[in-house]
Structure 1
Amino acid sequence: MKALIYLFLVTTSLFANEGISQIQKLIAEVGNPVVVFDLDDTLFYSSSRSWVIFKELANSTRFKEEYPKQIAKLGKIELSQIKYSIEDTLRDVGIVDPALIKKILKFWKERFFTNEYVKEDAPVEGGREYVHKLRSLGARIVYLTGRDHSMREGTIESLKSSGFPFDEENSILITKERFDIPDIDYKKGAFEKIANMGTVVAFFENEPKNLNAMIERFKKAVPVFLDIKHSPSPVRPSYKAIWIKDYNFATKKVECAYVDGFYENIDKNPYLGVGLNVC
Structure 2
Amino acid sequence: MRGSVAIFDIDSTIMDTAPRNFRILREAAEEYPVIAPAVDQLSVGDMGWNVLDALKSCMTLSEDLARKISRFWSDRFFTNHYALEDAPYQGVAEILWWIHQEGCLLVYLTGRDEPGMSTGTRQSFVQANLPAGEGTRFILKPDFETPDLVFKRKALESIGRMGTVWVAVENEPANANLFAQMFPDARVLLIDTITSPNPDVPDPAVIRFCRYGPV
TM class, shorter-chain normalised?
Answer: over 0.9
Matched residue, 1:107:
72
Letter of the 2:105 counterpart: R
Partner residue of 1:122?
87
Q: 1:42 aligns with which of 13, 20, 27?
A: 13
Q: 1:176 to 1:92 in 2, by over 3 A?
A: same
2:32 is paired with a residue of what secondary structure? helix
Query: Structure 1, unaligned stretches of length 5 or more?
Result: 1-26, 255-279
Residue segments in structure 2 that go unaligned for 5+ positions in a row = none
Match of 2:32 among 51, 63, 76: 63
The alignment's TM-score, normalised by the length of structure 1, stands at: 0.73
| Residues in 2 aligned to 1:148 and 1:166: alpha-carbon distance in whole angstroms | 17
Residue 125 of structure 2 is matched in structure 1 by 159
In the alignment, structure 1 residue 246 sits paired with structure 2 residue 211: yes
CA RMSD of aligned residues (A): 1.4
The reply on whether 1:233 has 2:198 as its aligned counterpart is: yes
Partner Cα distance (2:65, 2:179) in 1? 40
2:56 is matched with: 91
Counterpart Cα distance in 2 of 1:124 and 1:95: 32
Runs of 4+ in structure 1 displaced over 6 angstroms?
none
Provide Cα deviations, 1:36-61, integer angstroms capped at 9, x if missing partner.
00000000111221011112222x2x
CA contact (8 A) 2:42 2:54 kept: no
- Which of 165, 173, 179 matches 1:208? 173
User: In the TM superposition, what whole-angstrom CA distance separates every residue of 1:93-120 from its partner, at most 9, and x where no partner exists?
Assistant: 2242222212211111111000000110
From the superposition, tell whether residues 234 and 110 of structure 1 become closer, same or farther in structure 2 (CA, over 3 Å): closer
CA distance in 2, matches of 1:178, 1:117: 18
CA distance in 2: counterparts of 1:162 and 1:234, whole angstroms: 29
Q: What is the rounded CA distance, in whole Å, between the counterparts of 1:214 and 1:73 in structure 2? A: 40
**What is the letter of the counterpart of residue 124 of structure 2?**
S
Q: Secondary structure at the match of 1:72?
A: helix
CA contact (8 A) 1:206 1:230 kept: yes
Identity %: 33
What SS is found at the alignment partner of 1:120? Answer: coil
TM-fit CA distance, 1:239? 1.8
- How many pairs were matched up? 214
Q: Which residue number in structure 2 is paired with residue 217 of structure 1?
A: 182
Contact map agreement 1:49 1:121 (CA 8 A) in 2: yes
Contact 1:54-1:75 within 8 A present in 2 as well: no
Render the CA deviation track for 1:163-190: whole Å, top value 9, x for unaligned. 11111x4111000011110000000000
Q: Equivalents in 2 of 1:202, 1:93: separation in Å?
A: 41
**CA 1:234/1:148 → structure 2, altered by over 3 Å: closer, same or farther?**
closer
Kept in 2: contact 1:73–1:95 (CA 8 A): no
Q: What displacement does 1:234 show?
A: 4.6
Residue 63 of structure 1 aligns to which amino acid in structure 2? Y
CA distance in 2, matches of 1:193, 1:134: 21
